[in-house]
Amino acid sequence: MKHPIRTAITAVVIGAAACPAMAQEPADTRAVWHQQVADGYAALQAETEALVSQTLSYCGSPADAQRQALERQWRQAFEAWQAVRWVDFGPVEQGNRAWQFQFWPDPKNLIGRKASLLLQTPDADIGKAVAEGGVAVQGFPMAEYLIFDSRLNQGDQALPAPATCRALRAVAAFAADNSAALVNEWQVFEAAYTANELYLDSTVRAGMTALDILAERRLAAPMGFRGNDRRSVYLADAWRSEYSLAAVRASLEGLRQQFLPGLRQRLMQADETALADRIARAFDDALARLDAMPVAMRPLLDDDEAFGQLQGLYVTISQLQQLVNGQAATALGVIRGFNSSDGD
Protein backbone atom coordinates (compact mmCIF):
# COMPACT_ATOMS: atom_id res chain seq x y z
CA MET A 1 0.00 0.00 0.00
CA LYS A 2 2.82 2.42 0.61
CA HIS A 3 4.16 2.59 -2.86
CA PRO A 4 1.14 3.98 -4.77
CA ILE A 5 0.44 6.60 -2.14
CA ARG A 6 3.99 7.79 -2.11
CA THR A 7 4.00 8.01 -5.87
CA ALA A 8 0.81 10.03 -5.88
CA ILE A 9 2.15 12.51 -3.37
CA THR A 10 5.42 12.88 -5.21
CA ALA A 11 3.58 13.61 -8.41
CA VAL A 12 1.53 16.35 -6.87
CA VAL A 13 4.53 17.94 -5.18
CA ILE A 14 6.62 17.98 -8.33
CA GLY A 15 3.67 19.19 -10.33
CA ALA A 16 3.14 22.10 -7.99
CA ALA A 17 6.81 22.92 -7.71
CA ALA A 18 7.42 22.99 -11.42
CA CYS A 19 5.22 25.98 -12.08
CA PRO A 20 4.91 28.00 -8.89
CA ALA A 21 3.76 31.16 -10.58
CA MET A 22 0.99 29.63 -12.66
CA ALA A 23 -2.61 29.09 -11.75
CA GLN A 24 -2.89 25.98 -9.64
CA GLU A 25 -5.73 24.25 -11.50
CA PRO A 26 -4.03 23.57 -14.83
CA ALA A 27 -0.93 22.16 -13.16
CA ASP A 28 -3.16 19.95 -11.04
CA THR A 29 -4.99 18.66 -14.07
CA ARG A 30 -1.74 17.65 -15.67
CA ALA A 31 -0.65 16.03 -12.41
CA VAL A 32 -3.86 13.99 -12.41
CA TRP A 33 -3.31 12.89 -15.98
CA HIS A 34 0.33 12.17 -15.35
CA GLN A 35 -0.41 9.94 -12.40
CA GLN A 36 -3.16 7.98 -14.17
CA VAL A 37 -0.94 7.31 -17.16
CA ALA A 38 1.96 6.37 -14.87
CA ASP A 39 -0.28 3.72 -13.33
CA GLY A 40 -1.23 2.51 -16.79
CA TYR A 41 2.40 2.22 -17.87
CA ALA A 42 3.27 0.40 -14.65
CA ALA A 43 0.51 -2.13 -15.40
CA LEU A 44 1.84 -2.53 -18.94
CA GLN A 45 5.30 -3.24 -17.58
CA ALA A 46 3.99 -5.84 -15.12
CA GLU A 47 1.89 -7.58 -17.79
CA THR A 48 4.63 -7.69 -20.44
CA GLU A 49 7.09 -9.05 -17.87
CA ALA A 50 4.52 -11.69 -16.98
CA LEU A 51 4.26 -12.53 -20.69
CA VAL A 52 8.01 -13.19 -20.78
CA SER A 53 7.81 -15.44 -17.71
CA GLN A 54 4.79 -17.29 -19.01
CA THR A 55 6.54 -17.90 -22.33
CA LEU A 56 9.50 -19.38 -20.45
CA SER A 57 7.19 -21.52 -18.29
CA TYR A 58 5.21 -22.89 -21.19
CA CYS A 59 8.21 -23.50 -23.42
CA GLY A 60 10.01 -25.16 -20.48
CA SER A 61 7.12 -27.49 -19.68
CA PRO A 62 4.53 -27.41 -22.44
CA ALA A 63 1.34 -28.58 -20.75
CA ASP A 64 -2.19 -27.56 -21.78
CA ALA A 65 -2.74 -25.54 -18.64
CA GLN A 66 0.47 -23.61 -19.30
CA ARG A 67 -0.61 -23.01 -22.87
CA GLN A 68 -3.93 -21.57 -21.75
CA ALA A 69 -2.13 -19.42 -19.22
CA LEU A 70 0.12 -18.13 -22.02
CA GLU A 71 -2.86 -17.22 -24.20
CA ARG A 72 -4.51 -15.53 -21.24
CA GLN A 73 -1.35 -13.60 -20.46
CA TRP A 74 -1.04 -12.31 -24.03
CA ARG A 75 -4.62 -11.05 -23.77
CA GLN A 76 -3.99 -9.36 -20.44
CA ALA A 77 -0.82 -7.69 -21.66
CA PHE A 78 -2.57 -6.55 -24.84
CA GLU A 79 -5.38 -5.07 -22.74
CA ALA A 80 -2.82 -3.20 -20.66
CA TRP A 81 -1.45 -1.72 -23.88
CA GLN A 82 -4.94 -0.85 -25.14
CA ALA A 83 -5.56 1.08 -21.93
CA VAL A 84 -2.58 3.40 -22.51
CA ARG A 85 -2.81 3.45 -26.30
CA TRP A 86 -4.54 6.84 -26.26
CA VAL A 87 -1.37 8.61 -25.05
CA ASP A 88 0.30 9.94 -28.18
CA PHE A 89 2.75 12.41 -26.61
CA GLY A 90 5.81 12.12 -24.39
CA PRO A 91 8.16 9.14 -24.36
CA VAL A 92 5.85 6.88 -26.36
CA GLU A 93 6.53 9.17 -29.32
CA GLN A 94 10.25 8.57 -29.17
CA GLY A 95 11.61 6.04 -31.64
CA ASN A 96 8.12 5.04 -32.78
CA ARG A 97 7.42 3.14 -29.58
CA ALA A 98 3.68 3.12 -30.18
CA TRP A 99 4.23 1.31 -33.48
CA GLN A 100 6.73 -0.98 -31.80
CA PHE A 101 3.99 -2.07 -29.42
CA GLN A 102 1.39 -2.40 -32.14
CA PHE A 103 1.89 -2.14 -35.87
CA TRP A 104 -1.68 -1.87 -37.13
CA PRO A 105 -3.56 -2.17 -39.39
CA ASP A 106 -1.77 -4.76 -41.46
CA PRO A 107 -3.93 -5.43 -44.51
CA LYS A 108 -1.16 -7.13 -46.48
CA ASN A 109 -0.12 -9.49 -43.70
CA LEU A 110 3.34 -8.07 -43.20
CA ILE A 111 3.30 -9.73 -39.78
CA GLY A 112 2.94 -13.16 -41.35
CA ARG A 113 5.73 -12.55 -43.84
CA LYS A 114 8.12 -11.15 -41.23
CA ALA A 115 7.27 -14.06 -38.94
CA SER A 116 8.51 -16.59 -41.47
CA LEU A 117 11.87 -14.78 -41.53
CA LEU A 118 11.99 -14.56 -37.76
CA LEU A 119 11.35 -18.28 -37.41
CA GLN A 120 14.44 -19.01 -39.49
CA THR A 121 16.68 -16.91 -37.24
CA PRO A 122 19.19 -18.84 -35.10
CA ASP A 123 19.17 -18.41 -31.34
CA ALA A 124 22.31 -16.30 -31.23
CA ASP A 125 20.82 -13.65 -33.53
CA ILE A 126 17.21 -13.56 -32.39
CA GLY A 127 17.48 -10.55 -30.07
CA LYS A 128 19.19 -8.53 -32.76
CA ALA A 129 16.68 -9.69 -35.38
CA VAL A 130 13.82 -8.34 -33.27
CA ALA A 131 15.61 -5.13 -32.30
CA GLU A 132 16.52 -4.36 -35.92
CA GLY A 133 13.65 -6.02 -37.73
CA GLY A 134 11.29 -3.06 -37.85
CA VAL A 135 7.99 -2.39 -36.10
CA ALA A 136 6.17 -5.34 -37.63
CA VAL A 137 8.28 -7.86 -35.69
CA GLN A 138 8.51 -6.04 -32.38
CA GLY A 139 5.18 -6.00 -30.66
CA PHE A 140 1.86 -7.51 -29.72
CA PRO A 141 0.71 -8.48 -33.23
CA MET A 142 3.84 -10.57 -33.77
CA ALA A 143 3.46 -12.26 -30.37
CA GLU A 144 -0.20 -12.82 -31.24
CA TYR A 145 0.77 -14.43 -34.54
CA LEU A 146 3.22 -16.78 -32.84
CA ILE A 147 0.65 -17.83 -30.24
CA PHE A 148 -2.65 -17.77 -32.13
CA ASP A 149 -2.23 -17.91 -35.93
CA SER A 150 -4.35 -20.83 -37.05
CA ARG A 151 -2.19 -21.81 -40.00
CA LEU A 152 1.00 -21.69 -37.94
CA ASN A 153 -0.67 -23.76 -35.25
CA GLN A 154 -1.51 -26.51 -37.75
CA GLY A 155 2.10 -26.94 -38.87
CA ASP A 156 5.44 -28.15 -37.50
CA GLN A 157 6.35 -24.75 -36.19
CA ALA A 158 3.43 -24.43 -33.80
CA LEU A 159 4.40 -23.67 -30.21
CA PRO A 160 6.27 -25.18 -28.41
CA ALA A 161 8.55 -25.64 -31.46
CA PRO A 162 11.98 -24.29 -30.42
CA ALA A 163 12.12 -21.67 -33.17
CA THR A 164 8.72 -20.28 -32.22
CA CYS A 165 9.47 -20.29 -28.51
CA ARG A 166 12.72 -18.46 -29.22
CA ALA A 167 10.98 -15.85 -31.36
CA LEU A 168 8.15 -15.33 -28.86
CA ARG A 169 10.57 -14.97 -25.97
CA ALA A 170 12.54 -12.32 -27.89
CA VAL A 171 9.43 -10.41 -28.97
CA ALA A 172 7.94 -10.46 -25.46
CA ALA A 173 11.27 -9.37 -23.98
CA PHE A 174 11.45 -6.49 -26.42
CA ALA A 175 7.97 -5.32 -25.40
CA ALA A 176 8.86 -5.68 -21.71
CA ASP A 177 12.04 -3.63 -22.16
CA ASN A 178 10.07 -1.02 -24.03
CA SER A 179 7.50 -0.88 -21.24
CA ALA A 180 10.18 -0.51 -18.58
CA ALA A 181 11.72 2.34 -20.56
CA LEU A 182 8.29 3.98 -20.83
CA VAL A 183 7.77 3.79 -17.08
CA ASN A 184 11.12 5.44 -16.38
CA GLU A 185 10.93 8.05 -19.08
CA TRP A 186 7.37 8.96 -18.16
CA GLN A 187 8.63 9.91 -14.70
CA VAL A 188 11.42 12.00 -16.20
CA PHE A 189 8.90 13.58 -18.56
CA GLU A 190 6.74 14.79 -15.67
CA ALA A 191 8.63 18.04 -15.19
CA ALA A 192 8.36 18.99 -18.86
CA TYR A 193 4.73 17.90 -18.97
CA THR A 194 3.61 19.94 -16.00
CA ALA A 195 5.71 22.95 -16.98
CA ASN A 196 4.45 23.23 -20.54
CA GLU A 197 0.96 24.62 -20.84
CA LEU A 198 0.59 23.33 -24.39
CA TYR A 199 0.19 19.84 -22.96
CA LEU A 200 -3.15 20.83 -21.44
CA ASP A 201 -4.69 20.91 -24.90
CA SER A 202 -2.45 18.20 -26.36
CA THR A 203 -3.73 15.78 -23.75
CA VAL A 204 -7.33 16.56 -24.64
CA ARG A 205 -6.45 16.15 -28.30
CA ALA A 206 -4.89 12.77 -27.58
CA GLY A 207 -8.18 11.59 -26.09
CA MET A 208 -10.09 13.03 -29.06
CA THR A 209 -7.84 11.26 -31.55
CA ALA A 210 -8.19 7.98 -29.67
CA LEU A 211 -11.98 8.24 -29.86
CA ASP A 212 -11.80 9.04 -33.58
CA ILE A 213 -9.64 6.00 -34.17
CA LEU A 214 -11.92 3.83 -32.06
CA ALA A 215 -15.07 4.85 -33.88
CA GLU A 216 -13.77 5.15 -37.41
CA ARG A 217 -10.86 2.76 -37.76
CA ARG A 218 -11.46 0.09 -35.18
CA LEU A 219 -15.24 -0.17 -35.64
CA ALA A 220 -16.51 1.53 -38.81
CA ALA A 221 -13.76 0.15 -41.07
CA PRO A 222 -14.22 -3.55 -40.28
CA MET A 223 -17.99 -3.00 -40.29
CA GLY A 224 -17.77 -1.82 -43.91
CA PHE A 225 -18.96 1.71 -43.11
CA ARG A 226 -16.03 3.51 -44.66
CA GLY A 227 -16.84 4.02 -48.28
CA ASN A 228 -17.70 0.43 -49.12
CA ASP A 229 -20.06 -2.23 -47.86
CA ARG A 230 -17.57 -4.96 -47.28
CA ARG A 231 -17.25 -6.24 -43.75
CA SER A 232 -13.75 -7.48 -42.98
CA VAL A 233 -12.50 -8.65 -39.64
CA TYR A 234 -8.93 -8.25 -40.91
CA LEU A 235 -9.33 -4.50 -40.51
CA ALA A 236 -9.97 -4.90 -36.78
CA ASP A 237 -7.37 -5.27 -34.01
CA ALA A 238 -6.53 -8.70 -32.64
CA TRP A 239 -8.53 -10.82 -35.09
CA ARG A 240 -6.08 -13.72 -34.75
CA SER A 241 -6.74 -13.99 -31.02
CA GLU A 242 -10.46 -13.27 -31.56
CA TYR A 243 -10.23 -10.44 -29.09
CA SER A 244 -11.13 -7.35 -31.13
CA LEU A 245 -14.02 -6.15 -29.00
CA ALA A 246 -12.22 -6.90 -25.76
CA ALA A 247 -9.46 -4.63 -27.07
CA VAL A 248 -12.00 -1.90 -27.81
CA ARG A 249 -13.33 -2.30 -24.30
CA ALA A 250 -9.86 -2.07 -22.78
CA SER A 251 -9.18 1.16 -24.68
CA LEU A 252 -12.46 2.69 -23.53
CA GLU A 253 -11.81 1.63 -19.95
CA GLY A 254 -8.32 3.13 -20.21
CA LEU A 255 -9.78 6.42 -21.42
CA ARG A 256 -12.29 6.39 -18.61
CA GLN A 257 -9.66 5.74 -15.96
CA GLN A 258 -6.80 7.80 -17.27
CA PHE A 259 -8.25 10.52 -19.47
CA LEU A 260 -11.66 11.29 -18.04
CA PRO A 261 -10.63 12.50 -14.54
CA GLY A 262 -8.45 15.28 -15.94
CA LEU A 263 -11.01 16.12 -18.60
CA ARG A 264 -13.70 16.36 -15.95
CA GLN A 265 -11.53 18.71 -13.94
CA ARG A 266 -11.01 21.01 -16.91
CA LEU A 267 -14.72 20.97 -17.75
CA MET A 268 -15.64 21.83 -14.19
CA GLN A 269 -13.25 24.78 -14.26
CA ALA A 270 -15.08 25.91 -17.38
CA ASP A 271 -18.45 25.56 -15.59
CA GLU A 272 -19.41 22.57 -17.68
CA THR A 273 -20.14 20.08 -14.93
CA ALA A 274 -23.31 18.88 -16.63
CA LEU A 275 -21.36 18.09 -19.79
CA ALA A 276 -18.74 16.24 -17.75
CA ASP A 277 -21.51 14.15 -16.23
CA ARG A 278 -22.97 13.36 -19.64
CA ILE A 279 -19.55 12.26 -20.87
CA ALA A 280 -19.10 10.00 -17.85
CA ARG A 281 -22.53 8.45 -18.51
CA ALA A 282 -21.67 7.96 -22.18
CA PHE A 283 -18.55 6.03 -21.16
CA ASP A 284 -20.68 3.90 -18.85
CA ASP A 285 -23.21 3.23 -21.61
CA ALA A 286 -20.59 2.14 -24.08
CA LEU A 287 -18.87 -0.10 -21.55
CA ALA A 288 -22.18 -1.63 -20.50
CA ARG A 289 -22.95 -2.47 -24.12
CA LEU A 290 -19.57 -4.11 -24.52
CA ASP A 291 -20.11 -6.16 -21.39
CA ALA A 292 -23.10 -7.77 -23.08
CA MET A 293 -21.18 -8.58 -26.29
CA PRO A 294 -18.69 -11.29 -27.24
CA VAL A 295 -14.97 -10.50 -27.06
CA ALA A 296 -14.50 -11.37 -30.75
CA MET A 297 -15.85 -9.29 -33.62
CA ARG A 298 -16.08 -11.94 -36.32
CA PRO A 299 -19.31 -13.62 -35.12
CA LEU A 300 -21.05 -10.23 -35.22
CA LEU A 301 -19.78 -9.48 -38.72
CA ASP A 302 -20.83 -12.87 -40.07
CA ASP A 303 -24.42 -12.74 -38.81
CA ASP A 304 -26.78 -9.99 -39.94
CA GLU A 305 -28.89 -10.22 -36.82
CA ALA A 306 -25.92 -10.07 -34.47
CA PHE A 307 -24.51 -7.22 -36.55
CA GLY A 308 -27.18 -5.04 -34.96
CA GLN A 309 -25.28 -5.23 -31.67
CA LEU A 310 -22.21 -3.85 -33.36
CA GLN A 311 -24.24 -1.05 -34.92
CA GLY A 312 -25.62 -0.20 -31.51
CA LEU A 313 -22.11 -0.03 -30.09
CA TYR A 314 -20.97 2.12 -32.97
CA VAL A 315 -23.79 4.58 -32.36
CA THR A 316 -23.02 4.75 -28.65
CA ILE A 317 -19.33 5.38 -29.26
CA SER A 318 -20.15 7.96 -31.93
CA GLN A 319 -22.26 9.81 -29.36
CA LEU A 320 -19.38 9.74 -26.90
CA GLN A 321 -17.09 10.97 -29.66
CA GLN A 322 -19.49 13.82 -30.39
CA LEU A 323 -19.66 14.83 -26.72
CA VAL A 324 -15.89 14.87 -26.27
CA ASN A 325 -14.63 15.92 -29.71
CA GLY A 326 -17.49 18.29 -30.42
CA GLN A 327 -18.98 19.77 -27.27
CA ALA A 328 -16.13 19.42 -24.78
CA ALA A 329 -13.51 20.54 -27.28
CA THR A 330 -15.60 23.61 -28.09
CA ALA A 331 -16.23 24.38 -24.42
CA LEU A 332 -12.50 24.18 -23.70
CA GLY A 333 -11.46 25.98 -26.88
CA VAL A 334 -9.34 23.03 -27.99
CA ILE A 335 -8.64 23.29 -31.70
CA ARG A 336 -8.11 20.13 -33.61
CA GLY A 337 -4.74 20.06 -35.34
CA PHE A 338 -3.39 17.79 -38.01
CA ASN A 339 -2.71 14.22 -37.15
CA SER A 340 -1.54 11.21 -39.03
CA SER A 341 -5.05 10.03 -39.74
CA ASP A 342 -5.67 13.00 -42.05
CA GLY A 343 -4.30 11.08 -44.99
CA ASP A 344 -6.45 8.65 -46.85
Partner 1 sequence: MKQVYRPLPLALAVSLVAVAGCSNQQESDVKESGTSEQAAVVAPTKAQVVEHYSDLAYANFSDALTTAEALDEAVDTLIENPTEANLAAAKQAWLAARVPYQQTEVFRFGNAIVDDWEGQLNAWPLDEGLIDYVAADGYQYELGNDGATANIIASPSINIGGNTVDVSELTPELLANLNEIGGSEANVATGYHAVEFLLWGQDLNGFDAGAGNRPVTDYAQGEECTHGNCDRRAAYLDAATDLLIDDLEWMVAQWAPGKDDNYRAELLAESPDAAIQKMLFGMGSLSLGELAGERMKVALEANSYEDEHDCFSDNTHNSHYYNGQGVANVYKGTYTRVDGTVVNGPSLSDLVAEVNPELDKTLRVQLVESMAALATMKTVAETDNQPLKFDMMIAPSSERGADIVNGAIVALVNQTGSIEQAAGELGIDSLEPDDAGHAF
Q: How far is the CB of 72 from partner 1 (least distance, A)?
A: 26
Query: What Å distances lie between residue 64 and 58, 70, 242, CA to CA?
Result: 9, 10, 19
The residues binding partner 1 (CB under 8 A) are: 88-89, 93, 96, 98-99, 103-110, 113, 132-136, 198-199, 202, 206, 209, 213, 217, 220-221, 224-230, 232-235, 335-344
Q: How far is the CB of 210 from partner 1 (least distance, A)?
A: 9
Of 230 and 281, nearer to partner 1 (C-beta) is 230
CB 12, CB 31: distance < 8 Å: yes
Q: How far is the CB of 75 from partner 1 (least distance, A)?
A: 21
Of 31 and 206, nearer to partner 1 (C-beta) is 206
Sign of CA dihedral 194, 277, 316, 75: positive
Q: How far is the CB of 206 from partner 1 (least distance, A)?
A: 8
- Which amino acid belongs to residue 305? E
Q: How far is the CB of 327 from partner 1 (least distance, A)?
A: 14
Nearest to 143 by CA among 76, 95, 96, 93: 76
CB 280, CB 264: distance < 8 Å: yes
Of 211 and 267, nearer to partner 1 (C-beta) is 211
Let me know how many helices (H) and strands (E) the chain has, helices first.
16, 0
Q: How far is the CB of 22 from partner 1 (least distance, A)?
A: 19
Of 19 and 46, nearer to partner 1 (C-beta) is 19
Nearest to 80 by CA among 162, 182, 220: 182
Of 214 and 293, nearer to partner 1 (C-beta) is 214
Of 110 and 158, nearer to partner 1 (C-beta) is 110
Nearest to 260 by CA among 335, 330, 340, 328: 328
CB 81, CB 102: distance < 8 Å: yes
